[in-house]
Structure 1
Amino acid sequence: MYLSLLTTLSVMLLRGRGKAGGLPPWHLLATLVGLVLVMAVDGVNSTINEIGMTPWYEPRNDLRAATGMGAGIGLAVLLMLLFNRSLRRDVDETLPVLGQWRELGMIILINAVLLTAVLLDIGFLARPLALLDLVGVGGTLFITALTTIAVLMNYDGTITHLTHLARPATFALILTGAFLAGMAWLRATILGG
């Protein structure tokens, strides 16, 4: 999911959507919501299985990865939309964050290639993909914290250059690092390692 989110954000930025603040057309928006909902259903099914109940269908890691990829696409669009509409003064509300089927298709294709590389466990790609996934996790947490902190600090609708976010970005970076360190400590404590 996080690798897909990072990839989708990168593609949208490279396609000139960095200041976009418009909603995708309804058919694309419905598709993105559907992708997130499919992951939610798959997650509930996996949880049902893990607590010893009979799942609706047999959970599989490849299916979990594919539904996570879809959710990552939908969440990337949401994050960019929230960031731009919350903080940017120069947001272009007439430019949709994602505007055409062709764009969504390109994003899905790029993510599908990465997903295939992950699922095939191609040796020389394992470390770069794991590193990109780590950047995706940290980046998602950072962007979420940055947007929240900047809004709380009354930066909403004032940003024209990303350098204006230096102060809230510092707090967001500290918060993200603390959260990741706390999660690592909790995992080590629970697993005894």
Structure 2
Amino acid sequence: MPLCSRNTGIYLGFIVTLIILYASGRGKTRALPAKALIITLVGGIMLLAIDGSNSFLVDLGLPHLYQPHNLLRLATGLITGFAMGIFVLPVINDLIWKYSNGQSSLPSWKALMWFLPVLLLCFLAAASNSQLVLYPLAILSSLGLLSAVGSVNIIFMILLRHRDQSFTRYVELLPFCGIALLAASGELLVLAQLKVLLLQTLSIPL
């Protein structure tokens, strides 16, 4: 896998959530979920923060709550990636589209049934360690990472061009998306090279 278990979960959950939102006709949603759902999703993100902090304590040889496990990293990553997709898409849509859309990215508890089976399937597939499914998951998680960074680029590009809330069709976004994804690829390559240089400087084995 090109990413660690936690990052695989985050970006796999993110891209899968976006795919489901678009497939279910909520690709232009501009409303966040109800307060109770937001609190629940934030609680899921906090689980990743707790698990990550616990792993950090283990790495430092300090007292910790429990022994880290890759499946736990994957599960908390998937939950966080799902929350990211639910929160990020309405924010971007509110910046992009000219006309209002009252749809919520997660309109009710019942709407979770669109996502939970797919997220569970992703978890079981990644946990299986089967090469037959790991390759597609590796591609999806990499696309999720590229999409997440590209989304940030699109936000900055639209704001810099003063094009916020001016788009009416997807085709108008194609030039922005192309440049944003190309820039994201370059940014990730630069970050990867900087990481290698840092590890070499610190004499840490790759």
TM-score scaled to structure 2, two decimals? 0.86
Aligned residues of 2:86 and 2:106 also touching (Cα < 8 A): yes
Specify the SS of the correspondent of 1:129: helix
What's the counterpart of residue 3 of structure 1?
12
Deviations 1:88-142 (A, max 9, x none): 11231x2111112122133122111111110111221111111111111111111
Following TM superposition, the consecutive aligned residue runs of length 4 or more in structure 1 with deviations greater than 6 angstroms are none
Matches within 5 A, 1:145-160: 145-160=153-168
Specify the SS of the correspondent of 1:22: coil
Specify the SS of the correspondent of 2:103: strand
Aligned residues of 1:5 and 1:73 also touching (Cα < 8 A): yes
* Partner of residue 151 from structure 2, selected from 108, 119, 143: 143
Q: Percent identity?
A: 26
What's the counterpart of residue 5 of structure 2?
none
What's the counterpart of residue 121 of structure 2?
113
Deviations 1:70-90 (A, max 9, x none): 000100011101111111112
Specify the SS of the correspondent of 2:115: helix
Aligned residues of 1:19 and 1:91 also touching (Cα < 8 A): no
State the distance in 1 between where 2:140 and 2:28 align.
24
Structure 1 alignment gaps of length 5 or more: none
Amino acid at match of 2:64: P
What's the counterpart of residue 162 of structure 1?
170
Specify the SS of the correspondent of 1:96: coil
Amino acid at match of 2:69: R
Aligned residues of 2:32 and 2:86 also touching (Cα < 8 A): no
Amino acid at match of 1:83: I
State the distance in 1 between where 2:179 and 2:130 align.
38
What's the counterpart of residue 26 of structure 1?
35
Shift of 1:167: 4.1
Deviations 1:16-69 (A, max 9, x none): 111211121222111111111111111111112112211122211111110000
Shift of 1:7: 0.4
State the distance in 2 between where 1:65 and 1:166 align.
32
State the distance in 2 between where 1:169 and 1:18 align.
15
TM-score scaled to structure 1, two decimals? 0.91
* Partner of residue 16 from structure 1, selected from 22, 25, 44: 25
Specify the SS of the correspondent of 2:87: helix
Aligned residues of 1:150 and 1:165 also touching (Cα < 8 A): no
Task: Give yes or no for the alignment of 1:71 onto 2:80.
Answer: yes
State the distance in 2 between where 1:45 and 1:148 align.
34
| RMSD value, Cα | 1.7
State the distance in 2 between where 1:166 and 1:66 align.
33
State the distance in 2 between where 1:35 and 1:105 align.
17
Aligned residues of 2:33 and 2:105 also touching (Cα < 8 A): yes
What's the counterpart of residue 124 of structure 1?
132
What's the counterpart of residue 98 of structure 1?
106
More strand by share: 1
Amino acid at match of 1:80: L
State the distance in 2 between where 1:122 and 1:187 align.
29
Shift of 1:14: 0.9
Structure 2 alignment gaps of length 5 or more: 1-9
